[in-house]
Amino acid sequence: MRWDEISLSEKIWCIPKTKSKNGKTLYIGLADKLIEVLQNRKLCSKSEWVFQVRKTIVNTYQVQQYIKHG
């Protein structure tokens, strides 16, 4: 999720058609509480990504533990 996909004023997340499975632009409404969280996050963010993480072997392993396979 990138900041340029989020409209805090319109409370919408726009997923471009190039990233969606069906090839169509998706518009997802955002709850007021989430908008509040995102506004606070944006104040201290210098990244183009809303939720920036450092990819490491440990992080990848931890995520894979919670992925349901099959």
Q: Where are the domains of the chain?
A: 3-66
Angle ∠(11,13,17) on CA atoms, nearest 5 = 150
Mean pLDDT of the chain: 84
Q: Using pLDDT thresholds of 50, 70 and 90, give the confidence band for residue 38.
A: very high
| CA distance linking residue 50 with residue 42, whole number of Å | 8
| Predicted model pTM | 0.67
Which pLDDT tens digit goes with each residue over 1-35? 899 999 999 999 999 999 988 999 999 999 999 99
